[in-house]
């Protein structure tokens, strides 16, 4: 837990709470590009649309190569899947 979390009274992150947040209904986007895109699309449907999403990664524990690979996958696999889903929705109307 960070100092900010302690100041705000947030509970410590447990494995159970982490797993719940990375699951289908949780807020964390963890998984392969298809899983991440599907989760964003699913959440967008439930929320009535998403106009913007910000990816935040903690680079400290990741080797540079892994961070760059994740960033590349967001741009080459996740973003195109989201664009395709948006275009298909527009075509369906």
Where exactly are the structural domains of the chain?
3-92
Q: Token digits for 37?
A: 């895109």
* Mean pLDDT across 20-39: 93
* Mean pLDDT across 55-68: 87
Q: Give 58's pLDDT tier (boundaries 50, 70, 90).
A: confident
Spatial neighbors of 36 by CB under 8 A, at least 6 apart, are: 29, 30, 74, 78
Q: Give 40's pLDDT tier (boundaries 50, 70, 90).
A: very high
Q: Give 93's pLDDT tier (boundaries 50, 70, 90).
A: very low
- Predicted confidence (pLDDT) at residue 91 exceeds the cutoff of 70: no
- Predicted confidence (pLDDT) at residue 75 exceeds the cutoff of 80: yes
* Mean pLDDT across 49-69: 88
Q: What gap in Å lies between CA 59 and CA 67, rounded to an integer?
A: 7
């Amino acid at each position: 837990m960070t100092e900010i979390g302690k100041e705000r009274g947030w509970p410590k992150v447990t494995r159970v709470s982490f797993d719940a947040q990375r699951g289908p209904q949780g807020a964390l986007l963890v998984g392969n590009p298809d899983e991440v895109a599907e989760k964003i699309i699913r959440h967008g449907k439930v929320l009535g649309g998403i106009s913007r999403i910000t990816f935040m990664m903690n680079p400290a524990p990741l080797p540079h190569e892994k961070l760059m690979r994740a960033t590349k996958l967001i741009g080459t696999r996740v973003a195109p899947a989201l664009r395709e889903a948006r275009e298909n929705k527009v075509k369906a109307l």
